[in-house]
Amino acid sequence: MWDNFIWFSAASMLLWILGVASLYMNKKSSLTGNILISAGLVIFLIFILLLWGDLKHPPLRTMGETRLWYSFFITLVGFVTWLRWRYKWLAGYSVLVSGVFIMVNLLKPEIHFTNLMPALQSIWFVPHVTVYILSYAMFGAATIASFIAIRELKNKSERLMPLIDNLIYIGLGFLMTGMLLGAIWAKEAWGDYWTWDPKEVWAFITAAVYVVYIHARAQKYPLRIILWILPLAFIMLMITWLGVNYLPAAQGSIHVY
Amino acid sequence: MADKGKREQKIAIEAVIVAAITVAGVALQVLTGGFNREILAFPANLILVTAIPVLLILFKGAAKHLASGSLSVILISVVTIIALYMGLVPGNSAKSSWPFVLIYLALLINLTASVLMRLRTFKIRKDISFMLNHIGLLILLFSAGPGSADKARYFMRVFEGKVEWRAEKSGSKESAEAVELPVAISLEDFEMDEYPPKLAIIERNTGIALPEKRPIYFEAILNAASTIERWNLVIDSVLYKPGFAPAAFVRVTDKYSDVPTEGWVSCGNYFQHFKTLSLDSTYCVAMTFPEPKEYRSKVEVYTQSGKVKNGVVRVNHPMTIGGWKIYQHSYDSARGRDSVWSLFELVYDPWIIPAYIGMIMMIFGAITLFWKGGKS
Ligand code: HEM
């Protein structure tokens, strides 16, 4: 079945790219774009289901199989967010990330023989990581917007605030979901849902700074203070994502795979 | 603008109070050397969890002040700063320190008060997002904080064919003494699936695998073949039986000399020596140890109250019996799949159900954030 992956993924990728292109080109109606993207999702899902039938167990055991779900879910969630919030760039971005995972699967399949350690062989792994990646996309965009908004404050313009608040709420929605799924997984795998493991400490810090932003906004604190929270939060996010393993306090973390 | 001045004054007062709480925490920390979580053990935690909302309902005037949104911002910020300390200073014990515990308590009071005030004007459409997020968080914080004082974790080592009641407390520093638990485990069988071991060509003295920049390790399965630099390797036979070290019969042809070399290669195990196949005076074929893919224990579990449960415990799939969860922790790693014992972790957490309820409410709360966006 894996031999056919290239055909299915090429078809899905093509439909997704055409779909996103159509969204950008066709200003009046997004119907064609939506149909194309949905068709790509259906084809991708069909491949997963066929593989499932072929393997006789859900394709969740190897790294390659896990990446299939990433590719699928990232595009799906990007698409749903587009339908709800009309962010074209997010639909495009999610297709791009999905394409990267598809390429990795084609070039370095790791289908039969990846040594996925037992603790990672969990149904929580994929949703936990996928949802996190999406929140990072939202927060990344919000951070860029916050720099522009800080500059525009001089002209008393608050044009970008609805967009920024929106991205932060959506991003925090994903981030909290990722964190909670991680907690439920940790309980199943290690016996405790929260142990203040270094990665958990930094994930907590990141979420907490965004929570401070939301509450400070609700309190209507001055924007010239509040807006600086966002770059700060993004630094925390980067430390959580990439930096934790290098911190001296993190030696012996369960997350250092 | 009088309003604005008043608000700033209120924030200043709140900041001073929070600072005072933190300083008091530091003083207590210096005096007592740390917070002992056991003083919150049942029934103290249950009393606390009931007392906070009851007192806030009785003293409405105070509750109004304690529900302040600006106080929330200050408290969440202080918790974040303490978390930064946790994340940056190696080997700290901030999570069981007095400042953290007192701020956590203040946060619980502030959050309970906010929820109670909001409940008085509750409208489903307007407030559902707030309620899911904040009541969920409140339940979770009560369970994870004061509730955790009732949590207990033990390690139990069980040999195949034996029954065990005794376990050692995990996480305690003093040399752990075995205690009898109200649950017993009978280990029928410990099993392990492994990934196939891998073959590589290594430099005998340094152990560096070839090609030096991107070493090739290929799986030792029947008929597998690989070309590494100037050698072609084919596996003609594999031996992979319980109790014996994995071994592969490898045929190697040198591209230049065409003289085949062949022989058994094995990674060895706890009683058999490893075996390599020499190619020349510098290089040989060697086998890596197989890595575990999955391990599991077939068990029968009994409780003092007479419950019996049969099943399999494996990583990510604990077994639940009477308030206890039993986790596959580890095994005799020197023996790998031939381990004759299995190490279980047993966790007792009577507050896990409310914790899950809180988490599930918060997941729905997160979905409302996603759906509602920044329009409040
Ligand atoms: C201990 C922690 C928390 C406390 C004490 C707290 C307290 C409050 C209070 C008092 C409000 C009323 C709004 C205002 O400021 O006027 C509020 C609003 C809100 N809180 Fe929290 N909160 C906490 C944690 C959280 C968390 C973890 C989340 C998100 C996951 C969250 C999301 C929100 C949202 C979305 C609002 C509505 C803001 C708006 O009106 O737009 N809060 N919170």
Farthest-apart Cα atoms in chain B, separation: 97
The residue among B308, B346, B287, B313 whose CA lies nearest residue B157 is B346
Answer whether A118 sits within 8 Å of B315, measured CB to CB. yes
Q: Distance between CA atoms of B143 and B126, rounded to whole angstroms?
A: 27
Rounded mean pLDDT of A53-66?
78
Mutate to test the pocket of ligand 1, among B100, B122, B125, B133 (most ligand atoms within 8 A of CB): B133
Kindly list the residues from chain A whose CB atom is less than 8 angstroms away from the CB atom of residue B375.
162, 166
Give the containing element (helix H, strand E) for B126: helix B124-144
Nearest chain B Cα distance for residue A36, angstroms? 24
What residue type is assigned to position B217 of the chain?
A: Y
Question: What's the predicted TM-score (pTM) here?
Answer: 0.84
Q: State if residue B110 touches ligand 1 by the CB under 6 angstroms criterion.
A: yes
Residues B362-368, mean pLDDT to the nearest whole number: 96
**Tokens at residue B197, please?**
């071991």
pLDDT tens digits for range B39-88: 999 999 999 999 999 999 999 999 999 999 999 999 999 999 999 999 99
Average pLDDT value for residue range A80-89: 88
Contact of A2 with A111, CB cutoff 8 Å: yes
CA A158 to chain centre: 28
Alpha helices by DSSP H, listed for chain A, are 5-25, 31-55, 63-85, 88-107, 125-152, 161-190, 198-218, 223-226, 229-238
**Ligand 1 atom closest to B67 (CA):** 10
Q: Which of A18, A88, A86, A73 is nearest to A41 (CA)?
A: A73
Peptide bond before residue B43 is cis, with ω within 30 degrees of 0: yes
User: Nearest 10 degrees: CA dihedral of B31, B37, B42, B46?
Assistant: 80
- On average, the pLDDT of chain B sits at 91
Q: Count of A–B CB contacts within 8 Å?
A: 134
Residues A233 and A164: their CA atoms lie apart, in Å, by 14
The answer to whether residue A65 scores a pLDDT higher than 60 is yes
Q: What percent of chain A clears pLDDT 70, i.e. is strictly above it? A: 90
Q: What is the pLDDT of residues A122-131, one digit of tens each?
A: 778 777 887 8
Residue B93, pLDDT above cutoff 80: yes
Question: Nearest-CA neighbor of B261 among B269, B270, B252?
Answer: B252
pLDDT of residue A113: 44
Q: Region A167-187: what's the mean pLDDT?
A: 95
Nearest CA to ligand 1 atom 11: B69
Residue A114 banded pLDDT, cuts 50, 70, 90: very low
Look at residue A14 in the predicted model and tell me its pLDDT.
Answer: 97
Q: Is the dihedral of CA A72, A76, A79, A81 positive or negative?
A: negative
Least confident of A106-115, B13-22, B290-299, B326-335: A106-115
Which chain A residue is nearest to residue B349, measuring alpha carbons? Answer: A192
Give the helix/strand (H/E) hosting B169.
strand B163-169
Give the CA-trace dihedral at A112, A120, A99, A10, to 10 degrees: 30
CB B117 within 8 A of CB B94: no
Our mutation pick for probing the ligand 1 site, out of B117, B121, B130, counting the most ligand atoms within 8 A of Cβ, is B130
pLDDT for A256: 43
What is the rounded average pLDDT of the residues B22-44?
Answer: 95
Q: Taking all residues of chain A, what is their mean pLDDT, rounded to a whole number? A: 88
pLDDT digits (tens, 9 = 90+) for B14-26: 999 999 999 999 9
Could you read off the pLDDT of B144-177 as tens digits, one per residue?
999 999 999 999 999 999 999 999 987 655 556 7
| Per-residue pLDDT at B174 | 55
DSSP structure string for B208-276: PBSSSSS---EE--TT-EEEETTEEEEEEEEE--TTS--EEEEEEEETTT--EEEEEEE---SSS--B-
Per the model's pLDDT, the better-predicted residue between B214 and B298 turns out to be: B298
Least confident of A53-62, A206-215, B133-142, B297-306: A53-62
ipTM associated with this complex: 0.84
Q: Do B153 and A216 touch (CB under 8 A)?
A: no
- What integer pLDDT is reported at residue A251 of this predicted model? 61
Q: Which residues contact B348 (CB under 8 A, 6 or more apart)?
A: B150, B151, B152, B153, B323, B324, B325
